[in-house]
Amino acid sequence: MEENMQQRMPLIGDSFPPMTVTTTHGKMELPDAFKGKWFILFSHPGDFTPVCTTEFYAFQKRYPQFRELNTELIGLSIDQVFSHLKWTEWIKDNLGEEIQFPVIADGTGQVANRLGLIHTAGGTATVRAVFIVDPKAVIRAILYYPAELGRNMDEFLRMIKGFQMAEKQGAAIPANWPHNELVKDRIIVPPASSEQAIKDRKKMQEKGEIECYDWWLCHRKP
């Protein structure tokens, strides 16, 4: 039973499982290779496929923005490393973008199986999945997409910014932030957990430090 628990798919809040991976940048130790940084590990069904090609192009176009947020990217599929290298070469020669982040070559499927990335209906193909991992190697978000739907890289940028803002400010992030329909670019004050906290919150509201729709729904400037 204990062994099965150790091998279950990692969940949000778990530490990213340590592993040695073969990539287009050589062998890497995860998560240690990105120690002190955020990183996004994303899997794709296969090289030389249309949707995946548009995704890699889009990730690379935004790679400088991710790096400005202390965030690295690393791709993954069950293709061999020579296939990754030939595909990224094709992207550079034909689309004008050099893929600068590493891509894991998981030919045995060991990494994909460890992370729960094998599509049950697709044989050995990896699903479109995303793991967002923080500088302490804790998994903060996991997202899955169907084969026919490409991912939105701007959302991943927004998520990284949101996570970093929430940690810095000790607050929560509203829907569609920073363009929320109710509070715009403001952040959510955590709900009061006691009667005294409610009283304190009313005083803060009177001082203009926060604004509230009610005592449990308050917001403020970052």
Helices 153-169 and 50-68: angle between axes, nearest 10 degrees: 30
Residue from 52, 91, 104, 132 carrying the catalytic annotation = 52
SS3 of 84-152: HHHHHHHHHHHHCCCCCCCEEECCCCHHHHHHCCECCCCCCCECEEEEEECCCCEEEEEEEECCCCCCC
Q: What one-character DSSP code corresponds to residue 164?
A: H
The yes-or-no answer on residue 52 being catalytic is yes
For 66-89, the DSSP string reads HHHTTEEEEEEESS-HHHHHHHHH
What is the token pair recorded at 44? 């794709």
CB 173 within 8 A of CB 140: no
CB 171 within 8 A of CB 165: yes
- For the annotated catalytic residues, the residue numbers are 52
